[in-house]
Amino acid sequence: MKRLFTFAVTFLTILCLTACSVPLKTTTTRKNGLNCAFQSEVSITLDRLQAEGTVHRKGAGLWDVEFTSPNTLSGVKLEFSEGSVNASYKGLSFSVPQSAVPVKSMMLNLIKAVDDNASLEELKGDEKDGMLAVSGKLEGGDYVLTVDKDGRLSGFEMANNSLKMTFTGLTVTGDTSAPETVTGTEVPELTTSVTTE
């Protein structure tokens, strides 16, 4: 009986000490800086494809990306407008080239993730090295959206698609918030009078 009691106390002590040493994962909140128009340099790694370019967000669902590398994509501009995608090369419009199809679908995932999170008041996620990692799910799989101290886009990853996008030199070009509506404006009362002689 003494052995059983000693074993139970020892087991509970080890369990308590071990449980206390495991840090709990905490969620951090940060102001949302995604709901703005911006431009940024982007580096895209998609499986074996390495691409570079400039991305512009003009508003919810209104994006474009122009590639500078690799040679098969250099100069190609993809414009995303509320579900439709247009491709152009030096002003000439054409269907999305086969070499850009994988990037097109990954850009659609990025657009959906950013636009969905841009509508939130605050961003919630795990903080690491001054960055906030916001996790979520899309039809294409799980994603991690990384934002800086100001809540601005810094990275986007989808591990199941071997996708990693890194954004550098982000500059805000405008605010995409809905225009404010004026309330409480009084309209002066008009009266008319008719005089007869």
Higher pLDDT, 142 or 30: 142
Q: Of the candidates 146, 56, 154, which has an alpha carbon nearest to the alpha carbon of residue 107?
A: 56
Q: Of the candidates 173, 172, 140, 175, which has an alpha carbon nearest to the alpha carbon of residue 158?
A: 140
Work out the angle at residue 178's Cα, subtended by the Cα atoms of residues 176 and 180, and round it to the nearest 5 degrees: 130
Q: Strand pairing partners for 17?
A: none
First and final CA of the chain: distance in angstroms? 120
**Per-residue pLDDT tens digits for 150-177:** 999 999 999 998 999 999 999 999 876 5
Helix, strand or coil for residue 58? strand
CB neighbour class for 145 (10 Å; exposed up to 12, middle 13-18, buried from 19)? buried
pTM above 0.95, yes or no: no
Quickly tell me which residue has 């550098």 as its tokens.
Answer: 168
* Domains of the chain: residue spans and CATH: 28-169 (2.50.20.10)
